[in-house]
Amino acid sequence: MNAEKRKQIFERLKTANPNPTTELEYTSPFELLIAVILSAQATDVSVNKATRKLYLVANTPEKIAALGVDGLIPYVQTIGLYRNKAKNVIDTCRLLLDHHHGEVPRDRESLQALPGVGRKTANVVLNTAFGQPAMAVDTHIFRVSNRTGLAPGKNVDIVEHKLMKFVPPEYLMDAHHWLILHGRYTCLARSPQCWNCLIADLCEFKSKTRTPEKGI
């Protein structure tokens, strides 16, 4: 895909959604960090349901750490892998208190040193909480980047590198959100809604001309 096509893709995505953001609910960098840790292999909807209750009781490292794993589990047990996530959240809160004065660090190395925080999670926090250009390549972004031809790659690291290189600078801050939302609601894994896609004519997916099935 050439540079002009990429630019047009993001121009259209911006026009349709000028101010994209995460669908996770949060009011502070710390709340976002915890929500993203909980969101691994889980939906944002399920995480929001859990954190709405949790954050009413505890929404700081001190308060969540005070709950302990057993005290946190009742709030997150509806989320997949909740036991391991609860342990990671408690350990993360303690590390934030012990090494970062209770504040969420603003650098990738420190973020990725926290339990349950990988590169993708760190990128979400850096981009969404701190306004840094970063690309959190999840399954949606990986699929959209490969299917459209925007930034094809065999693994998430390659796709991230290509996106950071190929996305026009003026769109880089919000590109992560546009691509996730596009993959979540239009460029679906099993049945991409090419007939309802605002970038279909720019996409390199061979089956983009398919029509919706009867009854849809």
Choose the catalytic residue: 5, 44, 107, 120: 120
Choose the catalytic residue: 138, 165, 174, 214: 138
Count Cβ atoms within 10 A of the Cβ of residue 18 and give its class: 0-12 exposed, 13-18 middle, 19 or more buried: exposed
Per the annotation, the verdict on 157 as an active-site residue is no
CA dihedral over 54, 57, 61, 64, signed as positive or negative: negative
Per the annotation, the verdict on 138 as an active-site residue is yes
Cα distance between residue 184 and residue 131, in whole Å = 23
| Cα angle 41, 43, 49; round to 5 | 125
Contacts 24+ apart (CB under 8 A), 14-22: 14/171, 14/174, 14/178, 16/198, 17/178, 17/181, 19/174, 20/174, 20/177, 20/178, 20/181, 21/128, 21/177, 22/124, 22/128, 22/177
Q: What dihedral do alpha carbons 55, 57, 62, 66 form, nearest 10°? A: -130
The single-letter DSSP state of residue 117 is -
The closest alpha carbon to 25, from 41, 12, 36, belongs to: 36
> Could you give the residue numbers annotated as active site?
120, 138
